[in-house]
Amino acid sequence: MFDKDVYIRRRRSLLEKMGETAAEGKRGIAVFVGNAEAPAQYRDNCYKWRQDSSWLYFWGLDEPLYGAVIDLDCGEETIFADDQDIDDIVWSGPLPSVRELASKAGVLKTAPYKGLDAVVAKALGQGRRVHFLPPSRYFNTMRFMDLTGWSREDVTAVAPGEGRHASRELVEAVVSLRLIKEECEIVEIDAAGAIGQEMHTVGRLSARPGVKEQEIVGKMEGVTLSKGWGVSFPTILTQHGETLHNHGHDGILEKGRLLVIDAGAESNSHYASDFTRTLPVGGKFSPKQREIYQIVCDANEKAFALTRPGIAYRDVHLAAARVILEGLAAAGLVRGSIDDMVAEGIAGMFMPHGLGHNIGLDVHDMEDLGENLVGYDPDQTRSPQLGLGNLRMARVLKPGHFISNEPGIYFIPALIGQWKSEGRDKGFVNFGKLAEYYDFGGIRLEDDVLVTEDGARRTGPSRLPIQPDDVEAAMQ
Ligand code: GLY
Ligand code: MN
């Protein structure tokens, strides 16, 4: 947990921002709930504990069953939680009192957890606005249904103004704060980057023909479990990289195949990293693999070179798409005007995802609050095209944005078949040549990037090898 001043400052900023959306006396209350434990089977056998990220951001306390209210009209803050009973102490060990923990977050007033119900009921009864974020977990969805008496659809919907829904004003205020990383957060994301890079180094050195994918995953995850909280998302490690989020690990590494490793660490303070590298099993790319790999590598480098304050990440995505199309044209897989192909979204058949997303307390930072509210400026609309339309971070970049840069090329037979049968390629794709790539797999190369005052820098102490010669040398 950071020093209490960090949390006090964040909540003061939130209060100021919420003050801009309504006149004094009309602002209402902002209600936050942390996560509850989630039993896997019997009550005390729970899934690994993870606190809600927006709760962590404003209140810092990493314990289950906490709630809080900020009165947006008078600024009063209250934390709602229960002190331990003797059973808790016997089974889970003693903890400081709620009052002591609350003081670490700079909050003086505390009340029992159930006290939150009466506060919300009173505010609703007085016709005051009750602002809350859309809950990301089912338990908290039910908690807000209980607190408000509204339906599941109501409490998970985000809309502005009065009504039975989560608060768009609060989402926008929270997003505007969490999007710009503070110095103390940047230190933590770099720390998560260092662990993530160590995971990848262990993975790369273990990736030899005959080894089980599962064995490598175990070694990699052991690194972050021994140095941080664990993985920042379920590890993707597969020789079927054409499946973008392939979580199966039952393969055995075969010489000559490509291994996609997309994995990251979460630091003990819950900040994330997220890196992808694609390795040639056996240590040498075939000429065909190297040609496609180099295109993805060039797209990654181009995207990084363009990343700086003032450019929309949407335009960086399109620049990466252009590099991919130019490379595929040189390989004979597409043909025609590059400008027209970029405009028609032809890159989407080869890269059906966006260039990147925000990274912070979540690996896909704040996407539980609504992808468009997080990743799009008010004057940007999301494209309907495959690929560009899957871009989660399109905003004009500002110093303090932490984003992933993760271009890829994938040969997905079912998608190629669909585009071919529906003529979606508009004549740009050389399907005859493409037939030679049906068993190629996929390639993705991902770094985490901080937008600085005058450009950008990558996370972590040293960049993972990415140029094909460097990857081959590092695998020897
Ligand atoms: N690393 C997984 C993702 O970005 O979706
Ligand atoms: Mn990513």
Q: Report which ligand 1 atom has the smallest distance to the Cα of 263.
A: 1
Mutate to test the pocket of ligand 1, among 200, 224, 266, 274 (most ligand atoms within 8 A of CB): 274
pLDDT of amino acid 246 = 87
pLDDT tens sequence across 196-252? 999 999 999 999 999 999 999 999 999 999 999 999 999 999 999 999 998 899 999
* Distance of alpha carbon 300 from alpha carbon 456, whole angstroms: 13
Q: Is the CB of residue 459 less than 8 Å from the CB of residue 466?
A: no
Residues forming a β-bridge with 429: 334
pLDDT of amino acid 12 = 98
pLDDT of amino acid 21 = 85
Position 460 pLDDT exceeds 80 = no
Q: Give 256's pLDDT tier (boundaries 50, 70, 90).
A: very high
Q: Report which ligand 1 atom has the smallest distance to the Cα of 276.
A: 1
pLDDT of amino acid 276 = 98
Decide whether any atom of ligand 1 lies within 6 Å of the 221 Cβ: no
Q: Report which ligand 1 atom has the smallest distance to the Cα of 262.
A: 1
pLDDT tens sequence across 344-401? 999 999 999 999 999 999 999 999 999 999 999 999 999 999 999 999 999 999 999 9
Proportion of the chain above pLDDT 90, given as a percent: 96
d(CA 241, ligand 2 centre) in Å: 14
Q: Give 462's pLDDT tier (boundaries 50, 70, 90).
A: confident
Contacts of 79 (CB under 8 A, 6+ apart): 59, 61, 66, 67, 68, 98, 102, 105, 107, 109, 110, 111
Q: Which of 105, 123, 128 is nearest to 34 (CA)?
A: 105
Decide whether any atom of ligand 1 lies within 6 Å of the 172 Cβ: no
Q: What is the CA radius of gyration of the chain?
A: 24
Mutate to test the pocket of ligand 1, among 358, 446, 447 (most ligand atoms within 8 A of CB): 446
Q: What is the DSSP letter of 106?
A: T
Cβ neighbourhood burial of 407 (10 Å; 0-12, 13-18, 19+): buried
Q: Is the CB of residue 418 less than 8 Å from the CB of residue 376?
A: no
Q: Report which ligand 1 atom has the smallest distance to the Cα of 274.
A: 1
d(CA 406, ligand 2 centre) in Å: 6
Decide whether any atom of ligand 1 lies within 6 Å of the 448 Cβ: no
User: Which has the minimum average pLDDT: 216-230, 271-285, 450-464?
Assistant: 450-464
d(CA 6, ligand 1 centre) in Å: 29
pLDDT of amino acid 25 = 83
Q: How high is the mean pLDDT of the chain? A: 97
pLDDT of amino acid 371 = 97
Proportion of the chain above pLDDT 70, given as a percent: 100
Position 321 pLDDT exceeds 90 = yes
Give pTM, 2 decimals: 0.96
Count CA atoms closer than 13 A to 109's CA, side-chain side: 10
For helices 168-179 and 4-19, give the axis angle rounded to 10 degrees: 130
For helices 313-330 and 287-306, give the axis angle rounded to 10 degrees: 150
pLDDT of amino acid 467 = 98
pLDDT of amino acid 22 = 86
Core vs surface per residue 199-221: b (16+ CB within 10 A) or e: bbbbbbebbeeeeebeebbeebb
For helices 213-227 and 183-206, give the axis angle rounded to 10 degrees: 150
Which ligand is located closest to the Cα atom of residue 446?
2
Decide whether any atom of ligand 1 lies within 6 Å of the 233 Cβ: yes
Q: Report which ligand 1 atom has the smallest distance to the Cα of 244.
A: 5
Residues forming a β-bridge with 252: 212
Cβ neighbourhood burial of 143 (10 Å; 0-12, 13-18, 19+): buried
pLDDT tens sequence across 130-153? 999 999 999 999 999 999 999 999
Q: What is the CATH number of domain 183-474?
A: 3.90.230.10
Position 92 pLDDT exceeds 90 = no
Mutate to test the pocket of ligand 1, among 220, 235, 237, 245 (most ligand atoms within 8 A of CB): 245
Tokens of 373: 């509210």
* Distance of alpha carbon 392 from alpha carbon 363, whole angstroms: 12
* Distance of alpha carbon 82 from alpha carbon 104, whole angstroms: 16
Position 311 pLDDT exceeds 80 = yes
DSSP character string of 367-401? GGG-HHHHHS-TT-----STTGGG-S--SBP-TT-
Mutate to test the pocket of ligand 1, among 266, 351, 406 (most ligand atoms within 8 A of CB): 406
Q: Which of 365, 51, 355, 60 is nearest to 189 (CA)?
A: 365
Q: Topology of domain 4-178, per CATH?
A: Creatine Amidinohydrolase; Chain A, domain 1 (3.40.350)
d(CA 232, ligand 1 centre) in Å: 10
Tokens of 158: 């985000």
Domain with CATH 3.40.350.10 in the chain: 4-178
* Distance of alpha carbon 327 from alpha carbon 295, whole angstroms: 6
d(CA 323, ligand 1 centre) in Å: 21
pLDDT of amino acid 451 = 98
Q: Where are the alpha helices (DSSP H) in 383-457?
A: 413-422, 431-434
Decide whether any atom of ligand 1 lies within 6 Å of the 365 Cβ: no
Residues near ion ligand 2 (Cβ under 5 Å): 274, 404
Spatial strand order of the sheet with 402-405 comes to: 402-405, 447-451, 456-458
Tokens of 120: 């919300």
Q: Which of 359, 355, 365 is nearest to 307 (CA)?
A: 355
Q: Report which ligand 1 atom has the smallest distance to the Cα of 364.
A: 4
Position 67 pLDDT exceeds 80 = yes
Domain with CATH 3.90.230.10 in the chain: 183-474
Phi, psi of 205 (to 5 degrees): -75, -20
d(CA 96, ligand 1 centre) in Å: 37
Residue with tokens 């998608």: 415
* Distance of alpha carbon 75 from alpha carbon 15, whole angstroms: 7
pLDDT of amino acid 26 = 86
Decide whether any atom of ligand 1 lies within 6 Å of the 262 Cβ: yes
Residues forming a β-bridge with 166: 158
pLDDT tens sequence across 222-234? 999 999 999 999 9
Count CA atoms closer than 13 A to 193's CA, side-chain side: 24
Decide whether any atom of ligand 1 lies within 6 Å of the 244 Cβ: no
pLDDT tens sequence across 147-176? 999 999 999 999 999 999 999 999 999 999
